[in-house]
A = this chain, B = another copy of it.
Amino acid sequence: MGGMSRPRRIERSDVLDAALAIADEEGLDSVTMSAVGHRLDVSAMALYRHVANKANLLDGLVERLLDDVPFPDRSRAPREQLTALGDGVRDAARRHPAVFPLLLARPARTDRARQRRDLIVDLIRQLGVPAARASRLERLISTMVLGFVVSEAAGRFEMHSKRVRDADWEALGQIVDASIELHRR
């Protein structure tokens, strides 16, 4: 039963959660320091204990988003793991369309992002691409997938139905296949 307002304890992940929820519900512009604080029953100034400034909060949001994309089941076939990864990114973008456009703006520097990159390179090699070409191809495939997914999240394809966009996504998958074929020895 409540009683007097006990001091509120928050940590960084609470700040990120609150900011993400506001972005999802009301858009990126509504993510202000005081709105995030308010959602946590805390003043805007309290956030500065957990984020350096607002830009850092936004960076954290992007990292959290990407880190939420699940890793594929490593027992499945390599090409299927690649598909699972791509679908996971597209799902995340659909859940959090307001935040996704920030994604291409900065290199992903978290451990998890590096692990995912290493995994993709490894999968590409398993598909027959020589090591010397694998990381270039990883960059290009990730760029194609991210480009599509942020375009969709940000509304660049808004005049096309879901059915059309799903068929586009499938066609992009075939282009990925062709690019792998192209890079095999």
Contacts and interface: CB of A to CB of B under 8 A. Distances in A.
Nearest to A107: B156
A35 to B, nearest CB: 19
Interface secondary structure of A, over-half rule: helix
Identical chains bound together, number: 2
Interface string A160-181: 0000000110011011001101
B175 A179 contact: yes
A114 to B, nearest CB: 12
B104 A154 contact: yes
Interface residues of A, number: 32
Nearest to A109: B159
A158 interface: yes
A106 interface: yes
Contacts of A181: 178
B155 A106 contact: yes
Interface of A: 101, 104-107, 136-137, 139-140, 143-144, 146-148, 150-151, 154-159, 167-168, 171-172, 174-175, 178-179, 181-182
